[in-house]
Chains A and B, each alone.
Chain A
């Protein structure tokens, strides 16, 4: 099975944004799932939206290359300034997307599998409701990275989000599973209402880290400007995080929140700050 995947050749579709929209572009059709089994000319007829106007993808992008037989065999490369293109890779299940520059909101939202690599920055709501796969951002991300959609109390379930730069507020709200690794700093609210999963912040966090959190783990390498009163230090532990081992102060919380009891012991969320 593994062998088959190695020898299977991926086909690459290159989209170049040559005729940018006036307001914005909603590109939820830009996924390996939608491109699979289609020739370049067919891909160019897929829908994208600018407000209430529906247009073919080919009106804005030049399309080069055909899709692979399946989503897993399809790689999409986006060139040109996609700062105003939303929803790339939304709900994708397999394959690969490489965005050469910046991208807008909802990149990798509700993603189930495959890989997205953004070489620039992304806006808010990236990786929301994620269930699997990988979302790699080389630059910064704005707000709600890996958070749950509005009103959804079952947040990110799986997969990996890696942001090399900094993130805005509301990272990993209602996180249930999966891993988020932030290379830089995080603004307020990390893993609020969290029920599982792991968030690693290699820089500083401004505050409200783990508020209303039930279960799950947070690692902060830098400082927390305003720690919450609901977290209590219980000791020091050595842990391996993202390939390196370090000593951490271990806090449990949020003591103000409800907590389940498992095998007679109360389960708390864990917050580790690097010593």
Chain B
């Protein structure tokens, strides 16, 4: 008899669907069926038991091949790399649980590392805008139950968050939105006529890279000022018409994606979107939300803000002082400037996502990948440590895109002997403490003048 597990959370995108039903084989070793998930979520579950998995850490040999080693050897190697480096970088965390993130932060602090997450190349600019201008947001449940006007700006959920529109924004019937799609106005702003734009009532084809100007025009119109005939490729009449819809909404939400975060101006595009949201609250209720990518990329922001006061790009090299300044302490900038001398890639694929020059710079130094699967990063690493898949084989807390924490469960056991991200980092931390104690024992602290390292 196969077993059905209900209310399973999906470890794919930031929508964090928690209504999946997973059918597991009698022996609890194989996933047979996944209901309610989108095509991508479905694949993540089936992938776990569908093929061969890496079951032991693999260390690069002088001849370029990988050799299986024990977890103890792998932990020792990783701890030594972190210990010896002057400025190691630990990056990733889009696809792991908050417990793993907290353990990694302990390691980063002990090792004097830079701690960064995928937001660095994704919604990090949203954080900068929030620092500068606040974040008048809401939960997805509020949007579902109240919103009658939805704006998707520079986001394409039809592809990137497949169930976002059906669960929360366009189609669901909520408490005050009983007519579902019929009672909602959908506005899509995007330079490309995406599949999301197909379902829009109004589609504004903004000139690529000129979102800021369009926001400025909306803000001027909302305040009753004149604007030029055409702004960012959009006619004045249409801007005035849409501004009127925004002002007359009962409750509205602006969902924005990489179109704002990663076109020219980055945080400023989000910043002015927040300003427009604030302006609209003089007339009615408006909210704004970042379309966070991975299922738990909101997690490191929550966990590390609580631990250190900053959500990403944390320079912990001074250990008791956390310094954050994207542009300097962000992964890509550190790599491009050759400022780091060791790299740990965890729960993401920097090999696939980073610019090739950044990868080349990082590859000059030790590169360790912690990931359940074979990916581009794992194939160019010096060490690959396999771990269990969070949400499938490892339970834990994840944060949905609206900052709502959800407890994920596991549906099967990880392959025999394979440990979790959290355990890997806890063990690296323990080994780092041992290395530190060994050095202190070897080299007793001498009275050194202020500013001179012991032994110099």
Contacts and interface: CB of A to CB of B under 8 A. Distances in A.
Contact of B216 (A105, A143, A254): A254
Contact of B340 (A23, A208, A257): A23
Interface stretch (A12-20, A49-57, A175-183): A49-57
A143 B111 CA distance: 30
26 contacts: A23-B87, A23-B341, A45-B451, A47-B451, A51-B86, A51-B340, A52-B113, A53-B86, A55-B456, A57-B451, A59-B456, A105-B328, A124-B327, A143-B327, A189-B265, A189-B268, A192-B268, A207-B213, A208-B213, A211-B272, A212-B275, A229-B231, A230-B227, A232-B225, A256-B222, A256-B275
A151 B339 CA distance: 24
A23 B220 contact: no
A150 interface: yes
A35 interface: no
Contacts of A229: 213, 216-217, 220, 227-228, 231
Contacts of A56: 451-453, 456
A169 B132 CA distance: 17
B212 A211 contact: yes
A226 B210 contact: yes
A125 B451 contact: no
B450 interface: yes
A150 B326 contact: yes
B319 interface: yes
Interface string A109-145: 0000000000000001100000000000000000110
Contacts of A189: 265, 268
B219 A257 contact: yes
A150 B231 CA distance: 29
Contact of A124 (B210, B318, B328): B328
Contact of B220 (A150, A170, A230): A230
B131 interface: yes
Nearest to B315: A51
A53 B453 contact: yes
9 nearest A-B residue pairs (beta carbon):
A256-B219, A51-B87, A52-B112, A151-B131, A51-B86, A255-B225, A52-B317, A229-B217, A47-B451
A188 interface: yes
B449 A45 contact: yes
Nearest to A169: B265
A105 B271 CA distance: 24
A228 B227 CA distance: 10
Which among B132, B226, B227, B338 has the greatest number of chain A C-beta atoms within 10 A?
B132
A210 B319 CA distance: 39
B26 to A, nearest CB: 52
Contacts of B132: 150-151, 153, 174, 193
B128 interface: yes
A22 interface: yes
B2 to A, nearest CB: 52
B383 interface: no
Interface string A45-74: 111011111111101000000000000000
B213 A228 contact: yes
A232 B225 CA distance: 10
A158 interface: no
B445 to A, nearest CB: 14
Contacts of B339: 23-24, 51
Contacts, number: 132
Interface in A83-97: none
Given A51-B86, A189-B268, A228-B213, A125 B223 contact: no
Nearest to B228: A229
Contacts of A23: 86-87, 338-341
A116 B269 CA distance: 34
B452 A45 contact: yes
A169 B326 CA distance: 14
Interface in A234-263: 254-257
A211 B324 contact: no
A149 interface: yes
Contacts of B226: 232
Nearest to B264: A188
Nearest to A57: B451
Given A55-B453, A150-B326, A257-B275, A208 B265 contact: yes
Interface string B198-227: 000000000000101101111110110111
Given A143-B327, A151-B131, 11 more contacts: A24-B87, A24-B337, A45-B450, A45-B451, A51-B112, A150-B131, A150-B325, A207-B213, A211-B212, A228-B212, A256-B225
A22 B86 contact: yes
Which among A47, A55, A192 has the greatest number of chain B C-beta atoms within 10 A?
A192
Contacts of A59: 456
B213 A226 contact: yes
B112 to A, nearest CB: 3
A170 B272 CA distance: 14
B216 A230 contact: yes
A149 B451 contact: no
A169 B266 CA distance: 11
Interface in B188-205: none
Contacts of B456: 55-56, 59
Contacts of B210: 226
Contacts of B85: 51
A49 B86 CA distance: 10
Interface string A181-197: 00000001100110000
Contacts of A169: 265
A49 B210 CA distance: 41
A256 B275 CA distance: 9
B220 A211 contact: no
B428 to A, nearest CB: 16
A124 B328 CA distance: 8
A125 B268 CA distance: 17
A174 B268 CA distance: 12
B311 to A, nearest CB: 11
Contact of A49 (B222, B228, B318, B325): B318
A255 B218 CA distance: 10
